[in-house]
Structure 1
Amino acid sequence: MRASRTTRWLAAAPMAALAVATVYPLVFTTNVALKTRHDYILDRFSPTRTAHWDNLGEAWASAGVSQYFVNSLIVVGCAVVLLLALGSMAGFALSHLPFRGSRALFLACLAALFIPFQVIMVPLARTMTGIGLIDTYPGLILAYVAQFLPFTIYLMTSYYSGIPADIVDAARIDGSSVYGVYRRIMLPLGAPALLSVGVLDALFCWNDVLIALLLMPSAQHRTLMVGITSLRGQYSDDIPTFAAGVLIAAVPILVVYLVFQRQIADAVTAGATKG
């Protein structure tokens, strides 16, 4: 009994340390965001005595965080819709509509997962410049779709492979077209996977800095993460306002993790035993 209790404590101790290390930056940022500039200069680590909520309003309006937030909503929303539409259709085709080269195409999607973005960033920038999509919403949306589509296809193919082929065959015998099978059967059955993959894709796009920084050079079209990064130089002498901007950017991510943590875990483990 004592050995079992000791084992549990040995397992809980590093997990507790990891939890503290994860939560502390958010607590510290919140504390700094609610301080005045004077209080931060005097003591940056002490708890704030009086919450200074004006920092959040200044970061949202004066620092341009509101525009960055809207830019991210537009880009991430459109990118996720395209990723789910293309990924689900490709996953259905690769899992239940075998054709010549389908296996090679699936392996190509897997291989694309191992290509770092830094390898293709220069050709991508030149291509986007040549077709006039630099510093535009469609350009960044297409870049996100191209970057994260292999991951989406892989997970959707793995999930759809677990659906019996007899269901598809029975629907085709009843007269349903391929699109009818996809719309009436595969989409409803794949809803849990679509939710999980959609949450992960949204987090990937929302947290991205490198792609958005490369394709959105103007301040007007910056996404939230790029905009928050730029605030460090603009508000180097006003750290509480900068911390307020970081806090605003972190809140949506935190909410998504808390609400969809089960779906995120399912998406991360999808394909481990299927496919």
Structure 2
Amino acid sequence: MAPLRAGRWIAAVPMAALAIATVYPLLFTANVAMKTRHEYVLDRFAPAEGLRWDAFASAWAGADMDRYLANSLIVVAGAVALLLLLGSMAGFALSQLRFRGSRLLFLACLSALFIPFQVIMVPLARTMGQLGLVDTYPGLILAYTAQFLPFTVFLMTSYYSGIPSEITDAARIDGNSVYGVYGRIMLPLGRPALLSVGILNALFCWNDVLIALLMMPSAEHRTLMVGVTALRGQYSADIPTFAGGVLIAAVPVLVLYLCFQRQITAGVTAGSTKG
């Protein structure tokens, strides 16, 4: 029993340290947001003297956070919907349909995961500019789709590979077309994976700064994360207001993660357990 307890402590101590290192910045930011500017200058690490919400109100009203939030919701919803549609169709085709070059196509999608966005950033900006898609919602949605589609295709292909091909063969024998098999069989069966991949892609798109900053240069179309980044310069002397803006941007992500943490874990491990 003693070695077993020692093993548990060996695993628990670094995990507890990792949890503290993860939670502490959030608690520190919340504490700073509750302070006045004078309190922060006197001692940034001391606990706030009371619960004040002035920093949140200033960040929300003074920095157009409501407009940035609406921009983020529009872009994230459009990108996730397009990613799920294209990713599920590609995953179904690559895993269940037999055609020449399917394996090579899957490897091409897999290799795209290893290409950093910085490599394609300049060609993407030029192409989008030539098409008139810079500083538009469709342009940013397409940019997110291009960036995160390989990841979506990989996970959906891995998930659909675990579904017996006899199911799709029986559906075809019953008279269903390829689209009928996809819509009536594969989509319902793939609902858990679609939920997981949708949540992950929503987190990726929501937290992105680089692509949004490249595709949305005007202040009117900024996403929430880009708006929070701009707060650092706008309120460089008012750190509590900046901290309030950071927390406003983080709350939707935290709520989404806490509600769907099991689905997120399933989505991360889908590629390694299926296929």
TM-score where L is the length of structure 1: 0.98
Match of 1:116 in 2: 116
Deviation at 1:8, TM superposition (A): 1.4
Match of 2:125 in 1: 125
CA distance in 1, matches of 2:268, 2:7: 28
Provide, for residues 29-84 of structure 1, a one-character-per-residue CA deviation record: whole Å limited to 9, x for no partner.
00111111111111111111111112111111111111111111000000000000
Secondary structure of residue in 2 paired with 1:271: helix
CA distance in 2, matches of 1:159, 1:178: 18
CA distance in 2, matches of 1:31, 1:273: 41
Deviation at 1:193, TM superposition (A): 0.2
After TM superposition, the structure 1 = structure 2 runs for residues 68-107 of structure 1, keeping only pairs within 5 Å, are: 68-107=68-107
Match of 2:202 in 1: 202
CA distance in 1, matches of 2:254, 2:202: 13
Segments of 5+ residues of structure 1 without an aligned counterpart are: none
Match of 2:164 in 1: 164
Amino acid at match of 2:175: G
Deviation at 1:206, TM superposition (A): 0.6
CA distance in 1, matches of 2:216, 2:17: 38
Instruction: Give the fraction of aligned pairs with identical amino acids, expressed as a percent.
Output: 76
* RMSD after superposition: 0.9
Determine if the alignment matches structure 1 residue 142 to structure 2 residue 142.
Answer: yes
Match of 1:27 in 2: 27
Amino acid at match of 1:232: R
Segments of 5+ residues of structure 2 without an aligned counterpart are: none
CA distance in 2, matches of 1:125, 1:91: 28
Amino acid at match of 1:113: L
Provide, for residues 4-24 of structure 1, a one-character-per-residue CA deviation record: whole Å limited to 9, x for no partner.
222211211111111111000
Provide, for residues 176-206 of structure 1, a one-character-per-residue CA deviation record: whole Å limited to 9, x for no partner.
1111111111010000000000011001111
Deviation at 1:129, TM superposition (A): 0.8
Higher mean C-alpha deviation, range 253-262 or range 239-248:
253-262
CA distance in 1, matches of 2:2, 2:173: 63
CA distance in 2, matches of 1:39, 1:25: 18
CA distance in 1, matches of 2:223, 2:70: 8
Match of 1:215 in 2: 215
| Corresponding pairs, count | 275
Amino acid at match of 1:6: A
Provide, for residues 129-150 of structure 1, a one-character-per-residue CA deviation record: whole Å limited to 9, x for no partner.
1111111111000000000001
TM-score where L is the length of structure 2: 0.98
